[in-house]
Chains A and B, each alone.
Chain A
């Protein structure tokens, strides 16, 4: 056996210089997203799936409900409750327009004219939130009470004659009429209109007003051609923040309205909590959601605010 002289072992190859990129760093954003995603899954996605399955179930409370893909529920719900749908959209739209008409001048004042009063006024805008929604709405019940000072004054001024003729009020009552519900909606959602409007108005460079004036625009034209177009993002987000919750609201119609002013929210509430017809209630919820989504999509497309944001 030949003696094998072992050559000295070659030096160990140098450790590879390039390590694969570390995975941990790249995953960080997903870890950070996790709580939010979990929240959405538990409190949004799962309830939605549960509701969706409820809406296609049949059965009764005693025998239990089973998924039978009974889509007819949707058709039945819509054909039975379409007046409440239409009413919801009308009331919500009226309240939104009123909010815009009331909120815009106030937001304008806050943004451009309030000076050192600005912060105090802003606090006053959100001050109603310090009391509960329910109590605020109940307060309106007192304000609009039959024979109360406000209704008395409106009656004396024959305003109620006009509103009754329009069908907004009935006789010398304001409470339990469409006007009362719209007033309640307007009052309760006004801050949601004012704050986005204020934010977008406040962002407008005051020199743009000067520039428009310098270029022969009168104050009214300056508003029409410069201020208002530039406040469109606020108008759009304000109207959405008002319209969407108002369309689904049931508290105002419940407390300030009557059986003739029931909105779709009231119907859903009754179906869920009193009649216990869960499939119909779920179907109504989905129809409302789809309708709002469709309207909002058209609205955003038409208002063309993508350019401004």
Chain B
């Protein structure tokens, strides 16, 4: 994140909310996006992220709350009076104008006469100098995407809003554009607010990610922070995969909590437990699949002391090149996932084999057991009606 002492360009949303009739698209939320940062709003479709973005752009009137750009209250300004530009989903390029005129559109509307130099510079920035006189439909998806970025950036907005800008591109091009957008953001230093449902995209590009679910911000932080220290089951499941084990608090000593699950004892640092842990209470113990090591039950004695251990039987394994993914059936949890890197493969680790799973207690996190354990699991489409 770019650190600037001058917060005159921050985007501040204060208690901003949007309801359509009885449906609440966005629950009142507070959000501050520091100037010059690359900020991502991440969530499944219908979670309110696009509505939030459109309220910043002025395309949607908030039902309550205010939008500030720096010190300026823009809540009730129409879009054409806001120093904000948007890269629309599927670009919304003007089909009757060529690339040059598309990019020059904003400048001309503000009465700037000599646009040639600026437009050419901007087209060079997005590497489309050659295409200036073509019409949008003559360009490929990736090129159109870059025109959309250039058309917005040329106005030097205080904030650039990107609404699923890479959604229409194929995977390879998407990767390329992610890096490209990141490069452009670093080069121009403008605040980018990026809406996406792709957690990998958000993590690759953004300095700060706000994970949204059902019209609320679930958690906000750097990609690493969100991934390593999820605070809710939704975040734990939506960003990557998590193994969540229902456990009972056994003892607490200093900054360590010891829990019981299916006859195994698990240790969890107090600092990494976001749930109130009282003796006898329930906590969801989480661990990422790649943090877990797998040892055949015959070699259980070789596992170093002090690691969390869970016993189980391999239910399924799939070899995917860089790693092998195992599904383990354990008394502690019916389906534990383990990703093991293919460095030294143990030939005994086949479905049916008895194994011990073990990991560093520092990689364990604790969540409030009152939540839905499956929230944010990818196969489950979140029901929009739930948000109301």
Contact = CB atoms under 8 A, between A and B. Distances in A.
Q: Which of A216, A225, A226, A307 has the most chain B CB within a 10 Å cutoff?
A: A216
Interface in A210-232: 210-218, 221, 225-226, 229-230
B156 to A, nearest CB: 12
B155 A215 contact: yes
A208 interface: yes
Nearest to B109: A216
Interface residues of A, number: 19
Contact of B59 (A210, A226, A229): A210
Contact of B109 (A208, A210, A221): A221
Given A216-B80, A217-B80, A211 B109 contact: no
Contacts of A205: 92
Given A207-B88, A221-B109, A214 B96 contact: no
B94 A214 contact: no
Contacts of A229: 96
Nearest to B59: A210
Nearest to B135: A307
A308 interface: yes
Contacts of A211: 86, 88, 92-94
A213 B80 contact: yes
A208 B96 CA distance: 11
Nearest to A210: B59
Nearest to B93: A211
A211 B96 CA distance: 14
Nearest to B103: A215
Given A215-B106, A215-B109, A215-B155, A210 B92 contact: yes
B151 A215 contact: yes
A307 B86 CA distance: 27
A205 B155 CA distance: 23
A218 B59 CA distance: 13
Contacts of B58: 213-214
A163 B140 CA distance: 57
Interface of B: 57-59, 78-81, 84-86, 88-90, 92-96, 105-106, 109-110, 135, 151-152, 155
10 contacts: A207-B88, A208-B94, A210-B59, A211-B93, A212-B105, A213-B58, A215-B80, A216-B80, A225-B105, A307-B96
Interface of A: 205, 207-208, 210-218, 221, 225-226, 229-230, 307-308
